Amino acid sequence: MKLAKLISAAAFAFALLANPAFAETCCEKAKAAGKECAHPCCVKAVKDGKVCEKCNPKK
Ligand SMILES: [Zn+2]
Ligand SMILES: [Zn+2]
């Protein structure tokens, strides 16, 4: 059953890559909606003129 495990793992990885919602951060989603991210950590970062690194890890 090793092969089945490998296939499901590959399918899972592909699903993550193919899902645009997963790649979008909370801040990007808020921006797309014309708002600012309401997460306290992001609001604090924006006040400091930065972007929240916790929610927006560098790619
Ligand atoms: Zn955010
Ligand atoms: Zn944040």
Which numbered ligand comes closest to the C-alpha of 24? 1
- Please indicate whether residue 13 or residue 51 has the higher confidence score (pLDDT): 51
Could you tell me where the beta strands, DSSP code E, fall in the chain? Answer: none
Q: Which positions ≥6 away from 49 have C-beta within 8 Å? A: none
The pLDDT value given to residue 26 = 93
Cα(59) to ligand 2 centroid in Å equals 15
**Inside any domain, residue 11:** no
What's residue 33's pLDDT? 95
Whether 33 maps to a domain, the answer reads yes
Residue 38 CA: which ligand is closest? 1
Q: Which ligand is nearest to the CA of 54?
A: 2
Mean pLDDT computed over every residue of the chain: 86
Q: What ligand is nearest to the CA atom of residue 55?
A: 2
Domain assignment present for residue 44? The answer is yes
Is the model more confident about 14 or about 26?
26
Write out the residue range of the structural domain in which residue 56 sits.
Answer: 25-59
Sign of the torsion angle spanned by Cα atoms 29, 16, 51, 59: negative
Please name which of 22, 59, 26, 19 lies closest in space to residue 43, comparing C-alpha atoms: 26
The three-point CA angle 48-31-21 to 5° equals: 115
Is pLDDT above 60 for 21?
no
